[in-house]
A and B are shown apart, each in its own frame.
Chain A
Amino acid sequence: MSGAQALIEALKREKVEYIFGMPGGANLPFYDALWDSNIKHILTRHEQIAAHMADAYGRVSRRAGVCSATSGPGATNLVTGIATAFADSSPVVAITGQVPRGMTGRNAFQETDVVGVLTPVTKYTLQPLSAADVPSAIRKAFHIATTGRPGPVLVDVPKDVQQETAEVTFPESVEIRGYRSKAPLDPQDVERAADLLVRAKRPLLFGGGGIRISDASQPFRAIAELLMTPVVTTLQGKGTFPEDHPLSLGPIGMHGRAEANKLVSECDALLAVGVRFSDRSTGTFSEFCKDAMIIHIDADPTEFNKNKAVNLHILGDANEVLVSLYSAITRRISKKGEDNPWLKRVNEVREEMKSIPAYRDSYADLSGPRIVKKMREILPPDAILTTGVGRHQMWCEIHYQVLRPRTWITSTGLGTMGFGLPAAVGAKLARPDVPVVDLDGDGSFVMTEQALATAVEQNIPLISVVLNDRSLGMVEQWQRLMYNRHYIGVKFNGSPNFVKLAESYGAEGRTVGSLDEFARVLKDGLSSQTQMVIEVPVSPEEDVFPFMPPGKGIKDTVYGPPKESAIF
């Protein structure tokens, strides 16, 4: 069979349902081989969008999302999407066409060294140089993308490799020396962790994206309830512990929840699971949890002591480690009671924070915080929310309670504007049974709005709520608070009419004038099973608080709007 047919056959064996992408000269043989396969091609209008769709599909489905592009500009258009998936450890397999082998290095038409370009932002790159090598390259790509700490893998296939025919065999498994997807768990480490946690007076659990990846929410919650430990998360880990749970404090970070940011500095033992101590979560590394014993559980050994020195690290899959940690703890104690000074302190801080303006309901009727709270009231617990990047995303971080894992899909590591709408498409294909809503900023939305064309064409129901402040709101906030209100390059004077824009793609477009109207329209959208864009006009002046100023520690969090204009 041809290399292209081998490629498709190998993808079928990986049980691939969808390929998100765009064709071009160098991957036409591959596209031709799709002709009589049952893999569905989802045509995007930009390759970045294809990569985001594959990424979100991967985050929701636990399987690798697949995207494809031609050589040269097609491949380079993937870069932002692949880098986004890499930063958030999402399983993606990207398949690119490449110029024929004989043309390599001759600056051939649409020749870009995509292996060179993508190496720094992928978990691995492969380039099969004969048709016979194609099946093992695909097997390796899926194995690497989905095991251990997941990530994107590139398979770059020269056009003549797609065209040549060869005897091919399809390996069930592949050996990759130097790649250890799993490490044996050291039971002594688990015992030590149990001792530390049981002895702690003010323990705190800190959950990250690793909990979602390894589906470890259940043992994570069991440990929290056993020890009666409050729980904070990263922004990526948001929802891995139900945020309506009495022990949930919400995310910590630059725009974390006030009680979470406040209390994280007061714990004496921190159990950090599947986190990477990112600066956006912790602030100044050395100041973070300075006086606490830190236990770090992760599947990626290169994360230990990278940003934050810890007292004990445990290498392993979060689920496996937490299950044994749970039983190690039960061998020491039975369930702790609610009546302890630490939980009293937690409640005290919660009360204290209620008096802070960010939490008082002083917002305008149509404002980010009210919209996201309303969305939570209306959406069922298993609805998936995707976001763009900016203030709207941070309002979700603070005010939108995520109740189930894998229902909060957002770009945190790279903070990629334009992620939200394509991610909604990918998420909906992974979970057609639940409603999918994108909450976006106007700036983020217009970066990838043409994903609407794909949603309409493929009849994929979704709702995009666009908070329209005619501004790059988050950046405007920084300019307001840190740069003397010098608004440079943030105001939009040429925004589209979002209703007409949606309609021109064949979607429904609405704009709303009140919170009640928003609620009605959102409910309409949910029952109509169409593609709907809901524009919500909001003020650009509404800032997000709490705010941990960049370069500062989490103790320096500013909890509410300052009186003077420039404060930092």
Chain B
Amino acid sequence: MRASKILSVLVDNKPGTLFRVTHLVRLMRLNIEGLTLGVTNGGDTCRMTFTLNGDDRTVEHVARQLMKVIDVIEAHTYGPQEVTARELALVSLKKFDPIQFGEEERQRLNVIDRSTAGVVVQIVGTAGEIDEFVRRAGESNVIDIARTGVAALPKEKQNA
């Protein structure tokens, strides 16, 4: 398991905002392990989801200070348990044998390209599930991997 925190930032959809946000992340010397970014709200805003490796206090400091950045509308941090999170990965393998994987895991997999060089498998899951898939597929069998980084939304608060 990674000791990572999710930083979710809603910004105005315009050039330069990622620069303003990552400036603070860099200032606090946090490593960005994942970053997804997409336009929301009919094109008005953009949601950035960072997976950051760092201690809670530092990540929370960034989230709080981000509220000073004028193009930032919201900034929140979450622990891995507080969000519903998924990531997509394309994994290019020399050989792919679906039998190797269990029924449940197979449902997350999709072969999207086959060539003489190998097979490209798409997997959607949590960051841990993707790590596990790569491990099972065998390090020496893997030609290349492209991961999107985690997209996350906070879990609905349970009504008491």
Contacts and interface: CB of A to CB of B under 8 A. Distances in A.
B73 interface: yes
A91 to B, nearest CB: 15
A302 B11 contact: no
Interface residues of B, number: 17
Interface string B60-89: 010011011111110000000000000000
Main secondary structure of the interface of B (DSSP, over half): mixed
A178 B64 contact: no
Interface stretch (A116-124, A354-362, A370-378): A116-124
A120 B64 contact: no
A115 B16 contact: yes
A178 B19 contact: no
Nearest to B72: A178
Interface in A147-194: 176-179
Contacts of B67: 301-302
A123 B68 CA distance: 8
A476 interface: no
A119 B70 CA distance: 11
B20 interface: yes
Contacts of B23: 119-120
Contacts of A120: 23, 27
The A interface, classified by DSSP as helix, strand, loop or mixed, is mixed
B71 A178 contact: yes
B129 interface: no
Contact of A177 (B20, B65, B73): B73
A119 B20 contact: yes
A300 B68 contact: yes
Given A116-B19, A120-B23, A177-B12, A302 B64 contact: yes
Interface residues of A, number: 16
B19 A119 contact: yes
A178 B23 CA distance: 18
Nearest to B17: A178
Contacts of B64: 302, 306
A125 B19 CA distance: 12
Interface in A237-269: none
Nearest to A180: B67
B63 to A, nearest CB: 10
Contact of A144 (B12, B20, B70, B73): B70
Contacts of A125: 16
B68 A302 contact: yes
Nearest to B74: A178
Which of B12, B68, B71 has the most CB atoms of chain A within a 10 A radius of its CB?
B68
Contact of A123 (B12, B19, B65, B70): B70
B4 to A, nearest CB: 24
Contacts of A116: 19
Contacts of B61: 306
Contacts of A300: 68
Contacts of A124: 70
B90 to A, nearest CB: 31
Nearest to B60: A305
Given A116-B19, A120-B23, 9 more contacts: A115-B16, A119-B19, A125-B16, A177-B73, A178-B72, A178-B73, A302-B64, A306-B64, A306-B65
Question: Nearest 5 A-B pairs (CB), nearest first?
Answer: A178-B73, A302-B68, A179-B70, A124-B70, A302-B65
23 contacts: A115-B16, A116-B19, A119-B19, A119-B20, A119-B23, A120-B27, A123-B70, A125-B16, A144-B70, A176-B70, A177-B73, A178-B11, A178-B70, A178-B73, A179-B70, A300-B68, A301-B67, A302-B64, A302-B65, A302-B68, A306-B61, A306-B64, A306-B65
Interface of B: 11-12, 16, 19-20, 23, 27, 61, 64-65, 67-73
